[in-house]
Structure 1
Amino acid sequence: MRPSTYLTYHGYIENHIKPQLGKIPLNDLTTLHLQQFYKKLLAEGRVERIEAQKQPKGLSVKTVRNIHQIISSALKLAVEQRLIAHNPADGCALPKAERKEMQTLPVEQLTSFLREAKDSGVFALYYIDLTTGLRRGELLGLKWSDIDLEKGDLRVQRQIGRINSKIIEMPLKTKNAYRTLPLSADAIDVLMQQRRKTGNSEWVFPSPTGGPMSPDSVLHMLHRVLKRAGLPKVRFHDLRHTFATLALQNGVDVKTVSGMLGHFSAGFTLDTYAHVTTSAKREAAKTMGNILSGAV
């Protein structure tokens, strides 16, 4: 198991499973207990903390299904070791995972968004994300030692996450996520200005106390900037989608975009952004038709 996966599972166990199910004897645990537990997680499972006060109280379907997987695996082992006769997790009806619709910021909205981000003092954070397509944790995990302003590149080496209400450094989830990205001239200028602002902090985007920023706080800032700019609310991950969509629409090949995003394969990227590539193929067909129309 990868270290980051272990830490995530550990957080699920400490924050959710142990507090709710830890006092029930193993032989007394039933499918009904688990169903009630999952229902409660969906309704009010979010760990209480300051950054989460205005967020929905329930956990996502994906998180609940991940928690079920942990419980089911543990109970399967208990059956194999003859500690219990059967696995109560086998009879659970799980909530269906819903694929969230991808949203992007159209080009005509980016100017308003970045103008408001600059007025709010968070321009560098969102500009760099839009020019690199970094995941939120990867962006917050950047240290100045990862940036070579002379060569113009950025190395993705770690991510920032939260375990047991603590903000910590974590390894990246896959080997493909460890990557080096080129920086445009404008991005280098933005980072130079950011370097002067951060003083002695090792983090490119530090919190007010000098440590890494909370993943929740940058999401709240994003929503504030969008609201002030009069733009619809999007997820932080949609900034990554915006980067990928604009790159593909402007002729960057799928393999290059896949590498920049840190995807495990170009096929996954192609599947994720099929709507973009399909549109591009139609435009290519139309262009070729116009070029060859005189020969028909």
Structure 2
Amino acid sequence: MQICVEYASQKSEKSVTVSDYINKWLNDVKVNDLKPSSFDRKEQTIKYQVLPYIGNISIYDLTSDDVQNMVNDLKASSYSYSTIKKAYECINSCLKYAVKRRDLAFNVAESVIIPKNLKREKSDIECFSDNEVRSIEAEAVKCYKNGKRIYRMGEIVIFLVNTGLRIGEALALEWADIDFKTRKAHIRKNMVYVKDRSSSEKSYQYVKQRSTKTKNGSRIIPLNAAAIRTLMSLKSINGSAKYVFATSKGKRVFPRNIDRMFRSILKNCGLKSVGVHTLRHTFASRLFAKGVDVKTVSELLGHSEVGITYDTYIHLIQEQQAAAVDILENVL
């Protein structure tokens, strides 16, 4: 069986472990077609969900049973379906590459069965009620007695709950992306927090990706009246800056600062401390409550496929379906 040329001068065939092979595949091959944030996530998956289970096995001795046991052990450790699927996809993709290079005769992961997607429980998704949204929006734009704003970027909270944008998408928005005439926003960039690989220190940095998280992430979204009012208010604050959400010096705002501000707003509203992503879930839940179909919600959220939207908000969709059936009873 042919062995990778890179290893041939240093290791015998049996000493090339899964850890050796998959890390070289990641750093020499996948680095070329992954965004920095995707690379970081795949690296973490390999480190924590693949290597602890099969990393020390020779790549040439790896069996279907070894990969199946990895999957079963992850399930037994209460990892989510998504996490298990990502771990499986990492080793499966790596082995496909090995077969394509003829380093292996066949892919042992092909016969492995991953668990069926477990439906999300209602408690998995945090959403705000309409009354809580009103309270949060009022707090976000409060001022001190002298008229100075308590939260300089408080409008972002109102903007997020009315657009459903990811925080990275919102923070990457430039005024050039906003069309006030047609009341639309062009979503085509994303701010991400990734490892600084130019530094020897274990540090991270924020970078602007010229594409969004998913293939459907680049999209044009309509802006409702609340979103427009928010943008007009921001124009008066930092309209001279490049970014819609900018610091007082016109620089980018970092997600951690928005999260810190948001938690302060929640505290002052007497609400549970949760992350900014809850505003995105709330946007989706309000649309479902109004009877908007799952495909439209998926497109607005920029999900890569409708199935993701369905699986994420299954309990909301089921509630909507139950309400629709109840309507029939009242009609008859």
| Fold-level similarity (TM above 0.5) | yes
Q: Does 1:232 pair with 2:272?
A: yes
Q: Does 1:101 pair with 2:124?
A: yes
- Matched AA of 1:138: E
- 2:161 corresponds to which residue? 130
Q: How does 1:156-175 map onto structure 2 within 5 Å?
A: 156-163=187-194, 164=196, 165-170=204-209, 171-175=211-215
Q: Distance in 2 between matches of 1:130 and 1:166?
A: 26
Q: Distance in 2 between matches of 1:145 and 1:2?
A: 31
Q: CA deviation at 1:6?
A: 3.0
- Pair 1:82–1:212, CA change in 2 (3 A): same
Q: CA deviation at 1:82?
A: 11
- 1:290 corresponds to which residue? 330
- 1:118 corresponds to which residue? 141
Give the 3-state SS of the residue equivalent to 2:35 in structure 1: helix
- 2:227 corresponds to which residue? 187
- 2:37 corresponds to which residue? 8
Identity, % of aligned positions: 32
Using structure 2 for the length normalisation, give the TM-score. 0.62
Q: Does 1:153 pair with 2:184?
A: yes
Give the 3-state SS of the residue equivalent to 2:186 in structure 1: strand
Maintained 8 Å contact 1:153/1:180: yes
Q: CA deviation at 1:240?
A: 0.7
Whose radius of gyration is greater, 1 or 2? Answer: 2
Deviates more, 1:266-275 or 1:61-70: 61-70
How many equivalent residue pairs? 259
Q: 1:257 aligns with which of 281, 290, 297?
A: 297
- Pair 1:2–1:230, CA change in 2 (3 A): farther
Q: CA deviation at 1:199?
A: 3.7
Q: Distance in 2 between matches of 1:210 and 1:113?
A: 26
Q: CA deviation at 1:266?
A: 2.8
Give the 3-state SS of the residue equivalent to 1:5 in structure 2: coil
Q: Deviations over 1:77-126 (max 9, x none)?
A: 7999899xxxxxxxxxxxxxx97811001111112111221123233101
Q: CA deviation at 1:74?
A: 7.2
- Pair 1:144–1:103, CA change in 2 (3 A): same
Maintained 8 Å contact 1:258/1:266: yes
Q: Distance in 2 between matches of 1:184 and 1:224?
A: 26
Maintained 8 Å contact 1:104/1:238: yes
- 1:243 corresponds to which residue? 283
Maintained 8 Å contact 1:143/1:202: yes
Q: CA deviation at 1:4?
A: 8.5
Give the 3-state SS of the residue equivalent to 1:167 in structure 2: strand
Maintained 8 Å contact 2:193/2:206: yes
- Pair 1:200–1:15, CA change in 2 (3 A): farther
Maintained 8 Å contact 2:31/2:39: no
Q: Deviations over 1:143-179 (max 9, x none)?
A: 1010011111111010001232222111212221111
Q: Distance in 2 between matches of 1:284 and 1:65?
A: 34
Unaligned runs of 5+ in 2: 1-29, 48-54, 58-79, 104-117, 143-149, 197-203
- Pair 1:135–1:246, CA change in 2 (3 A): same
Q: Tell me the C-alpha RMSD between the 2 structures.
A: 4.3
- Pair 1:79–1:2, CA change in 2 (3 A): closer
Q: CA deviation at 1:186?
A: 2.8
Deviates more, 1:132-141 or 1:250-259: 250-259
Q: CA deviation at 1:286?
A: 1.6
Q: Distance in 2 between matches of 1:193 and 1:65?
A: 44
Q: Distance in 1 between matches of 2:45 and 2:311?
A: 34
Q: CA deviation at 1:268?
A: 2.9
Maintained 8 Å contact 2:125/2:281: yes
Using structure 1 for the length normalisation, give the TM-score. 0.69
Maintained 8 Å contact 1:4/1:172: no
- Matched AA of 1:184: N
